[in-house]
Amino acid sequence: MKKIMLSLAALAALMLALPGTALAVDYGTQKVVYHINGGDPQQNQAALRNIQNHINAVGADNMDIKVVMHGAGLNLLINAKENENLRGAVDSLKLQNVEFQVCANTVRGRNLDISKDLYDATEKDVIPSGVAHLSYLQAQGYTYVKP
Amino acid sequence: MKTDRPSEEVLNAFVDGEFCPEERLACLRHIASDDSLSREVCDLSQIKEMVNLAYEKVPHPPRSSSRRARTVRGGWLGPAAAAVVVMLTTAGVVGLGIGTKEPARQFTTADMTQPLYGSERFANRILLHVNTRDEERLTNMLDEVESLMAASRQQGVALQILVVTHGEGLALVREDVSPFPERITALSERYAEGLKFVACLNTIERLRREEHLHVRLLPVAEVVNSGVAEVIRRQSQGWAYIQV
């Protein structure tokens, strides 16, 4: 009888302990793609803030984040050339391994010069199609977020 | 599930796009399982659109929405949401059975002549969710759809693109107000094997009910009962999701 009581007590202790451990949030590692196709500087700034908050919650070492921009979304990097706040946010996210990728269709359609018109962008940041790339990344297990 | 029906605040936050992906997916699941809830969400998005329309000319007050997002976020469904996400992601990854390498980055600019990332690893089913009538976004979407469909045909890769329109996005396929009727018709006919435009019946009925508008769709557009449900169903089947 004592034995049963003991094991019951142990079980109860275990059950009490379990929810406690679940409270410490561990998100593990995350692969996320942020989709930006709007050009409003305030919204873009807010989107970059979302990303920073996301990193703060999960930890930069546990994250693989890509920002895919197309259409008016490229304004983010165009405006970053003039806008100090945007530029600062882009710089800081890049230091945390966030990749910024731009759609070739848009670059061509808007007749942009990658190195002159876009802040801190090079040929290797260019992806052939925003839609194709967003789909591709999701197939790789990236979670899609539209901020 | 009926008992832990999301609160109105949660539904509003969902409609306003204020959720992080985990919460959004959990919420979508929930809505999909309940017809009256779907309808409510549909109505909510419509209210939001009407409000937006009414305030089109008024500048946005700074940061009013982010504060609400914060109050709403604290753990709706918490663990249940996490479980659903784990289930969904596992199903997605296993179902797709895909490799892990990034596509080679040797392309420069234009490059739909380059292979479409290889048919195995690339998501060949793409759902484009249209709930905006912003012409720049829609033009951009049609450009991308066109070049992708052209590339997939040229390379013999089967590609399915489903464009789901609802709420304000219904305008895209409405005969009377579509900004690009000829282009949509031409594209659907040219790529009939892989490209489809569908419209949300809930939205159509709402327009009839509230604005006494008898919507006529472009002949190439098909009708689905609920745009939201279609979006959820396809995502759970492994379609890539992109909001235009």
pLDDT tens digit sequence for A29-61: 899 999 999 999 999 999 999 999 999 989 999
| Chain B residues in contact with chain A using a Cβ-Cβ cutoff of 8 Å | 17, 20-21, 60, 62-63, 66, 79, 89, 92-93, 96, 98, 100, 102-103, 105, 107-112, 114, 116-117, 121-123, 126, 128, 136-137, 140-141, 143-145, 147-148, 240-244
The residue among B27, B59, B92 that closes a domain is B92
Contact residues, chain B, for A45 at CB < 8 Å: none
User: A27-145 in CATH: which number?
Assistant: 3.40.1260.10
Give A144's contacts in chain B (Cβ within 8 Å).
21, 240-242
Q: Give residue B7's pLDDT.
A: 72
* Predicted model pTM: 0.64
Strands B125-130 and B160-165: parallel
- Record: contact B123-A135, CB cut-off 8 A: yes
| Residue where a domain stops, chosen among B29, B62, B92 | B92
CATH number for the domain harbouring residue B167: 3.40.1260.10
Q: What is the DSSP letter of A56?
A: H
Clarify whether residues B85 and B179 are in a common domain. no
Instruction: Report DSSP letters for B22-87, one per residue.
Output: HHHHHHHHHHHT-HHHHHHHHHHHHHHHHHHHHTTTSPPPTTHHHHHHHHHHTTSSHHHHHHHHHH
d(CA A29, CA A49): 20
Q: B159 and B87, same structural domain?
A: no
Q: Are strands A143-145 and B125-130 parallel, antiparallel or unpaired?
A: unpaired
- Same domain? For B79 and B184 the reply is no
- pLDDT less than 70: residues of chain B: 1-5, 9, 17-18, 20-22, 35, 42-43, 46-122
- Listed by start position, the domains of chain A span 27-145
Same domain, B44 and B87: yes
Q: What is the pLDDT of residues A70-125, one digit of tens each?
A: 999 999 999 999 999 999 999 999 999 999 999 999 999 999 999 999 999 999 99
pLDDT at A12: 58
Residues B23, B81: contact at Cβ < 8 Å?
A: yes
pLDDT value for A18: 47
**Are B88 and B107 in the same domain?**
no
The domain total for chain B is 2
- Do B55 and B169 sit in the same domain of this protein? no
**Could B144 and A70 be called an inter-chain contact, meaning their C-beta atoms sit closer than 8 Å?**
yes
* Residue B134 structural domain: 101-243
Scored b (16 or more CB within 10 A) or e, A13-45 reads eeeeeeeeeeeeeeeeebebbbbbbbbebeebb
Strands A126-127 and A99-103: parallel
Q: How far is B183 from chain A (nearest CA, A)?
A: 18
Q: How far apart are CA B135 and CA B10, in angstroms?
A: 30
Give me the count of residues in chain B: 244
Supply φ then ψ for residue B133, to 5 degrees: -115, 15
B83 and B146 share one domain:
no
Contact B216, B103 (CB under 8 A): no
Q: Same structural domain for residues B124 and B78?
A: no
Q: Do A126 and B243 touch (CB under 8 A)?
A: no
Which DSSP letter does residue B118 get?
-
Asked if the Cβ–Cβ distance from A128 to B107 is below 8 Å, we say yes
Report how far residue B127's alpha carbon sits from residue B178's, in angstroms, rounded to the nearest whole number.
Answer: 20
Do B35 and B107 lie in one domain? The reply is: no
**Which residues are paired to A38 by β-bridges?**
none
Alpha carbon distances (Å) from B121 to A36, A132, B73:
23, 12, 34
Same domain, B88 and B121: no
Cβ–Cβ below 8 Å for B148 and A131: yes
ipTM of the complex: 0.73
Verify that B210 and B106 share a domain, yes or no: yes
Say if CB B137 and CB B169 are below 8 A apart.
no
Closest CA relative to residue B159, chosen from B143, B171, B148: B148
State how far the Cα of B32 lies from the Cα of B28, in Å rounded to an integer.
6
